[in-house]
């Protein structure tokens, strides 16, 4: 461990703002790349299921 | 031998085959990312020694460098996919190109953002029109261009071709990014990793970086296949196998 305490870890030797800002942005980018395709999948399956049902009903 | 190769190549053109195989690939890539990224982040943030000049702000490297490497690799993958799509009219190449673009754009943004946040305490400025920074910004705009083309053109085949051409033309920017630090020595430091030499930092510093780079590649593959499967379902929605697939999921 490079830090003596948790406070020291969060402070990052006075560079805490920069380090945590960068890692916060990183977290958002990873989250976006997970959530966007998973949400899309849900809405896509729903839309196509409705479409298939409509087609079946009109036959 | 040639026949076997041709068969292998043809399978890549099949959306159903690609869909089924990608489930296996993304399973392993997802696990790889889930193990490597937390290890790399904790190692880099808490255990790696601090830089004797930059102190702890240097820990931004563990996001900045993997994001920048990925943003460039992703664009090269798109250029290869564009080439395959233009020459052999392979459907899956179009799908990969389209699905890679938003991921590459997000990591290109991350590389620029973390670079700016790192630049402030290190260089005293968020932004400078340095050669590498500018070339990286152009890469982001190329990504936006591909995304905009895909979104604006209704016909999938025309959209695929336009995106393929832009990917191929834009790839000249990649060697410019790579060599910018050597051609114009303005602000950005030279590469941390080179394929031919040992890194110019102690192993305790570059080992977590290597873990992060591999982890980010795994994550990219995982996310790419998630998106690709959505795109395949959308494009193949009229086929029987997609109907059966969705029926099996109990949604129809």
Domain count within chain B:
1
Instruction: Write the pLDDT tens digit of every residue in B15-42.
Output: 999 999 999 999 999 999 999 999 999 9
Residue B4 belongs to some domain of the structure = no
Tell whether the model's pLDDT for residue B1 goes beyond 80: no
Domain count within chain A:
1
Residue B232 belongs to some domain of the structure = yes
Q: Residue A8's closest chain B neighbor by CA?
A: B46
Residue B211 belongs to some domain of the structure = yes
Q: Give pLDDT, residue B51.
A: 85
Q: Which domain holds residue B124?
A: 24-248
The shortest CB-CB distance from A40 to any of B117, B118, B230 is to B230
CB < 8 Å to B47, chain A: 1-2
Instruction: Write the pLDDT tens digit of every residue in B55-107.
Output: 889 999 999 999 999 999 999 999 999 999 999 888 899 999 999 999 999 99
Distances, alpha carbon B51 to alpha carbons A2, B1, B61, B99, B202, in Å: 11, 53, 11, 38, 10
Of the pLDDT bands very low, low, confident and very high (cuts 50, 70, 90), residue B4 is: confident
- With a CB-CB cutoff of 8 Å, which residues 19-58 of chain B face chain A? 37, 41, 45-50, 55-57
Residue A33 belongs to some domain of the structure = yes
Residues B218 and B33 sit within 8 Å (Cβ to Cβ)? yes
Alpha carbon distance B43, B50 (integer Å): 12
Q: What percent of chain B is modeled with pLDDT above 70? A: 96
Q: Which domain holds residue A36?
A: 15-58
- Scored b (16 or more CB within 10 A) or e, B69-83 reads bbbbbbbebbbbbbb
The shortest CB-CB distance from A19 to any of B56, B103, B219 is to B56
Tell whether the model's pLDDT for residue B252 goes beyond 50: no
Q: Give pLDDT, residue B195.
A: 64
Instruction: Write the pLDDT tens digit of every residue in A8-55.
Output: 888 888 888 999 999 999 999 999 999 999 999 999 999 999 999 898
Residue B211, judged by CB atoms within 10 A of its CB (0-12, 13-18, 19+), counts as buried
Residues B90 and B236 sit within 8 Å (Cβ to Cβ)? no
Q: Give pLDDT, residue B2.
A: 79
Averaged over B200-207, what is the pLDDT? 86
Residue B32, judged by CB atoms within 10 A of its CB (0-12, 13-18, 19+), counts as middle
Instruction: Write the pLDDT tens digit of every residue in B170-199.
Output: 999 999 998 888 887 777 877 777 766 777
Residues B70 and B109 sit within 8 Å (Cβ to Cβ)? no
Q: How far is CA B78 from the centre of its chain?
A: 9
The answer to whether B154 contacts chain A (CB < 8 Å) is no
Give ipTM to 2 decimals.
0.92
């Amino acid at each position: 461990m490079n830090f003596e305490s948790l406070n020291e870890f969060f402070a990052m030797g006075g560079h805490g703002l920069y380090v945590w800002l960068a890692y916060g942005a990183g977290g958002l980018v990873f989250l976006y790349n997970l959530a966007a395709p998973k949400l899309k999948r849900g809405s896509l399956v729903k839309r196509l299921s409705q479409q298939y049902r409509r087609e079946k009903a009109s036959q | 031998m040639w026949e076997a190769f041709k068969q292998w190549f043809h399978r890549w053109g099949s959306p159903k085959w690609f869909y089924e195989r990608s489930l296996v690939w993304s399973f392993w890539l997802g696990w790889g990312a889930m193990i490597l990224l937390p290890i790399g982040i904790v190692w880099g943030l808490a255990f790696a020694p601090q830089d004797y000049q930059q102190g702890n702000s240097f820990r931004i490297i563990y996001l900045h460098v993997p994001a920048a490497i990925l943003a460039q690799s992703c664009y090269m993958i798109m250029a290869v996919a564009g080439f395959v799509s233009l020459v052999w009219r392979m459907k899956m190449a179009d799908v990969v190109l389209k699905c890679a673009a938003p991921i590459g754009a997000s990591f290109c943004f991350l590389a620029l953002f973390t670079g700016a946040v790192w630049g402030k305490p290190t260089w005293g400025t968020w932004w400078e029109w340095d050669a590498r920074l500018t070339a990286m910004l152009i890469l982001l705009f190329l990504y936006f261009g591909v995304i905009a083309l895909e979104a604006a053109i209704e016909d999938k085949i025309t959209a695929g071709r336009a995106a393929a051409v832009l990917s191929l033309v834009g790839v000249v920017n990649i060697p410019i990014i790579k060599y910018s630090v050597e051609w114009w020595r303005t602000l950005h430091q030279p590469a941390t990793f080179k394929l031919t030499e040992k890194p110019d930092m102690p192993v305790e510093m570059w080992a977590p970086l290597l873990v992060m780079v591999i982890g980010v590649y795994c994550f990219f593959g995982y996310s790419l296949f998630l998106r690709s499967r959505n795109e395949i379902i959308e494009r193949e929605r009229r086929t029987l196998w997609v109907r059966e697939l969705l029926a099996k999921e109990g949604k129809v």
